Every structure is written in C-alpha cells, then in structure tokens.
C-alpha cells in the first residue's frame, strides 16, 4: 500500500498526489516570509501527475503521494546545493545523494530545498547566508537549527515530511521548538553519501514529520547499507512501520538526573514530567539512571566537531569549485579573500577553533582528551541501557527564544544543545516528539533515546507516547 492510500483511508476527503503538491505549493508561497525554502521545484506538479497514474495502475512506490523537502546540504542533480553558505551559492552537484535516489525510487515528491544554518553550524537557523528562518508558530521566534527550514516546512504544512541532518541535535532541537517529530537514527543507519560534510564522525541524516508513522516509513526507505559510504552499517533494515504498535507495560524507562537540574525551564520540566507519568500509568517501569559525563558533553562536542569542520571545510579554497575571489596577487591572496568573503562569522569561528585544537602543542591537550571523554560518554550510555530500554528527558532546556536574542552570545547559543549533543557522541538514536506548549503557545518536546540500531523499539515507544499525550 502506498503512503497516499494510507492517508486516504484516514481522511474524510481523499486526495490525489497532485492536490497535495498544489496545496503545499500554495502554502509555500503564502508563507514565504518564514524563509523556510532556498528553492522550490515548481515542476513537482508534473511529477505528481505521473505518480497519480502509477497509483491508479497499482505500480506506485511506498512513498507515493508524500510531499517532502530536502535540507540544502543534501545534494541533488539539476539543483543548487548551497549548505546555507555564500561560498556555495552557485554550486550545482554533478551527483545525487543516496537518500534522494531512494526516495525518488519510491515515488516521493521532492518539493524544494530548505534553508539552514551555514554548513549546519548553528542552533537557531540565523546563520544562513540567505537570511534567518522564522518559527511558524510565532514569527518573532527562532525555529531552532540547523535544520530550521525543514522543521518549519513540516510545521507550516509546506511539506508532509522533510530530511534534515543532525550533528549535535540539528533535527531533534528544531523539531522540539516547532512542534513536529524529529528522528536522528543511529550513526551508520543512513548513508551520508551526498551530505555536505560538517563533522563526519557525527553527521547523520534524519527525518522530520508530522507524526511518528511518517518518520518510520521514511526511515525505512532511506536506511540501509551503501557501498559509497564506508561508515554505513551492513545490517538488514527492519519493517519499522509494521512494528509501531506496541504495549509499554513492562518497558523500562530511564530518567537521567543530569537532565533535570539547573537551566531547565519550569514549564518544559512540567510538560516532560507529565509525559513520563503517562508511562507509569500504563505499567512501564520508570527509574533513575546516571549519565555522569553529561556536563562535559558541550565542551567535548564543540572540540571534536570544530576539529572535523576545520578539516572538511579546507576544500573550499576558490580553486576547485564554489566562490572564487581575488587571485591577482597570488594564491594566498585568493585563499584569504575567498574564505573571508565566502564564510560567515560562525563558520569562521569554528574553523579557527578547530584548527587551534588540532595544531602542534594543543592536539593532546584538547582534541585527544576530547576523544577520551567521548569514550566515557559512550560508556555512560552502555551502563544506563543495561538498566533500561529507553531514556527519556527534555529535548531542549527552554522553548524557542526570540530572533536575535542569542546571536551575539555563542556560549548561550551552544547551551541550547545541552540535551542533544551526547547522543551523537555515543552514536545512539534519538527522537523528539511534541508533548505540549508553554504559556506563550510555543511547543515543548520530549526526547527519547534508544539503544544503537534499535530504532524499531524507539519508534514504537514514541508512537505510543504520541497517541497517549494527544
């Protein structure tokens, strides 16, 4: 059965793929002030008509009828892929990301590329060279980052689902702040081939959707081994959709003490606690667990990700592709002008920090030590999961803050990711689902973290909670 057939079974008025695409295009144009999209594919209507014919003939793929958006650091042929940066403003990829190919093969309709923090470096989508994205719930507030455009596209009905990338929380955090579902799979579950790199040992493509079942079917399509990505896991892909319905009675839910201390907003705490109480009411075992190195997560993450960014972004030098400035006075002058004009402030900040921690005399003191702490963080999760099946806690310490409020305070901005950075360091999957709103009407999300490659259990637990709180 196709995705559209499932929707038509649930909806009072059945729709066609073309109708869904037209509705999304209308919404994109009417919400253009949110700046969620970098480019929109108007020819999506033609593809929708072709898919409607395939549905009628019974030959359509699993995602037929699903309108999806792609973060602008996931490359597509015949489309500009900027990664939110001026240095790639005219870059058109000669190849296509594996996830894009797999979605198109299952008849998804890709409606456009979404705005993002430059190279994925940000927690508010204010660092894009093409202007900030605004939260569709309240346009004076940030949508989270760096996949803010993808999150807003889903939240504002401009797409049914979207792909983002999550390095330290860039899918889960904007999902929580815009009131949608955001899934980061286990590192290696989804191929990174065609994802413009930020920090290669942390980057992972994830799903944003209106509900958990949509995230499940999207993950099922994009997951799986890819011989073009040596870090992709050679494991069978479960049928995530068929394993969603489950009872939580007897499930062991771990609550980290470290996630409920200083810095957590009272309203966020209350909503997350209410959701946890629902597990108790249905017979799940809720118990305290320890993640003792949580306080070192931010420092460890920003040492490792900036070091990898320094290495990955060295390729943008004005020689091979992308922006080129200067050159009259030699190669060094061209490098300096290209990189100083092509990169934004946050990217420059992280490149400089990463170059510093990798330099002679500082490598052992910072980079090597951060790698050791990463091992300790991974060990924390292994010990916690010996006592529980799923870890629950807040996705963010606060609800969305106002545009411009933290843009000049990097440390305060970095702390927005305090609950999301440790999972990627450990390589485990996590999902954010909405559980309520604060007094201003801004969304609140709960984060559920699962064991490595146990997305079926994580998605089933999230789906149960989604139904329980809604």
Residues designated catalytic:
71, 146, 170
Q: For residues 147 and 66, what is the distance between their CA atoms, to the nearest angstrom? A: 19
> Cβ distance 257 to 290 under 8 Å?
yes
């Amino acid at each position: 059965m196709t995705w559209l057939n499932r929707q038509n079974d649930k909806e009072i008025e059945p729709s066609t793929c073309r109708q869904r695409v037209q509705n999304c295009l209308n919404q994109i144009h009417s919400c253009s002030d949110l700046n969620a999209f970098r480019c929109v594919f108007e020819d999506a209507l033609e593809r929708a008509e072709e898919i409607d014919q395939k549905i009628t003939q019974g030959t359509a793929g699993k995602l037929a009828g699903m309108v999806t958006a792609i973060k602008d650091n996931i490359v597509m042929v015949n489309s500009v892929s900027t990664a939110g940066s001026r240095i790639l403003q005219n870059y058109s990829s000669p190849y296509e990301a594996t996830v894009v190919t797999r979605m198109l093969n299952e008849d998804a309709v890709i409606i456009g590329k979404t705005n993002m923090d430059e190279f994925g470096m940000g927690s508010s989508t204010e660092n894009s060279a093409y202007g900030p994205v605004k939260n569709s719930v309240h346009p004076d507030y940030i949508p989270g980052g760096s996949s803010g455009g993808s999150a807003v596209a889903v939240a504002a009905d401009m797409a049914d689902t979207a792909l983002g990338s999550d390095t330290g929380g860039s899918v889960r955090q904007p999902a929580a702040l815009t009131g949608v579902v955001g899934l980061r799979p286990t590192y290696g579950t989804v191929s990174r081939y065609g994802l413009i790199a930020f920090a290669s040992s942390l980057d992972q493509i994830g799903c944003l959707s209106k509900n958990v079942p949509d995230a499940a079917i999207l993950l099922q399509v994009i997951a799986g081994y890819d011989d073009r990505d040596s870090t992709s896991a050679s494991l069978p892909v479960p049928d995530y959709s068929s394993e969603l319905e489950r009872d939580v009675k007897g499930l062991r839910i771990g609550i980290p003490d470290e996630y409920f201390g200083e810095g957590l907003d009272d309203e966020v705490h209350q909503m997350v606690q209410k959701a946890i109480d629902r597990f108790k009411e249905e017979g799940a075992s809720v118990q305290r667990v320890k993640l003792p190195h949580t306080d070192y997560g931010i420092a460890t993450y920003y040492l490792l990700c900036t070091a990898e960014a320094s290495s990955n972004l060295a390729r943008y030098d004005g020689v091979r592709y992308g922006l080129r400035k200067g050159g009259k006075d030699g190669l060094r002058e061209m490098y300096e002008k290209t990189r100083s004009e092509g990169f934004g402030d946050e990217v420059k900040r992280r490149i400089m920090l990463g170059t510093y921690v990798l330099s002679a005399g500082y490598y052992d003191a910072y980079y090597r030590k951060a790698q050791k702490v990463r091992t300790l963080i991974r060990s924390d999760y292994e010990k916690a999961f010996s006592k529980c099946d799923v870890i629950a806690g807040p996705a963010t310490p606060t609800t969305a803050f106002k545009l411009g409020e933290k843009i000049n305070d990097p440390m305060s901005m970095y702390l927005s990711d305090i609950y999301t950075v440790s999972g990627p360091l450990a390589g485990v999957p996590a999902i954010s689902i909405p559980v309520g709103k604060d007094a201003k009407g801004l969304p609140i999300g709960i984060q559920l973290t699962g064991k490595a490659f146990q997305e079926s259990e994580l998605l089933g637990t999230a789906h149960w909670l989604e139904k329980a709180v809604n």
